[in-house]
Amino acid sequence: MGDNFVYKDAEGTSTQWDDIQRKLGNLPEKPKPKPTPGWVPDSDLENAPKDAAWLDGKSIDELEDLEDDSLLEDDRFLEQYRKQRLAEMREVASKPRFGSVQRISGSDYVREVSQAPADVWVVVHLFKDGLAECELLGQCLNQLAAKYTNTKFVKIVSTDCIKNYPDNLLPTLLVYNSTNVMANLVGLRRFGGPKCTPEDVALVLSQVGPVLGEPGETDADAVRARIQKDYVEKMVLRHATKGGGNNSDEDS
């Protein structure tokens, strides 16, 4: 094998024998380790040139944090571009994503429901034309869709969605999120029966999760508390409106 054989481990690092040989001057100094591929020293990142593409990769929060960045203050173009990007992103974020109940067919279901983005809650109304209970729930959903524009509401004829789906189970609401069925709400009774209101439906949906949340709102408890507060306020107002005349008669 020879006296000059030097064993290297799997990583390519030298052994204690190498260190001894280096002290004796029989081997050259150990080379400095090369950076891991893809690794860039922090100092290089800080000194890397900043351009429009660099700003394009920033989120709204990150762009806001750059407001006092000394580099941007010295670069009029970059600062102007930062403001432009921030305005564009805020405008997109402020626009309603949906806002109405979309009618879909069986061939649309996978694309519109099952493959909806992970941050979108989808409420699916299984219905049939001519059924009074479906029409009542549909009216409630129309109002909720206009109010909670971050939630996707769709409706589909029950038998287009599920072959031979029984009419006595209508109306039915399916709630989806991240490709999963989060709730299966069968019958109008779940929402208060023939006297159900949009607030009743919203209250039930709030028990499923942050179905009616605002953009970026993922705290189910916070959404539920907001929906419950709205429900109580509407019920109190409705009761006061209906009972006002009776109370006056009793007092007189």
- Report if residue 17 sits inside a domain: no
**Residue 69 pLDDT:** 67
CATH of the domain at 142: 3.40.30.10
**Residue 37 pLDDT:** 54
148 and 84 both lie in a single domain: no
**Residue 93 pLDDT:** 64
108 and 138 both lie in a single domain: yes
- Report if residue 3 sits inside a domain: no
**Residue 188 pLDDT:** 97
59 and 182 both lie in a single domain: no
189 and 144 both lie in a single domain: yes
159 and 192 both lie in a single domain: yes
**Residue 76 pLDDT:** 74
**Residue 115 pLDDT:** 92
73 and 165 both lie in a single domain: no
Number of domains in the chain: 2
Amino acid at the residue 122: V
Tell me, yes or no, if the pTM score tops 0.75: no
Alpha-carbon distances of 7 from 13, 18, 185, 250, rounded to whole Å? 9, 8, 70, 103
**Residue 42 pLDDT:** 45
Q: Which residues of the chain have a pLDDT value below 50?
A: 1-12, 39-40, 42-46, 48, 247-252
Q: Which domain holds residue 68?
A: 52-94
**Residue 250 pLDDT:** 41
72 and 136 both lie in a single domain: no
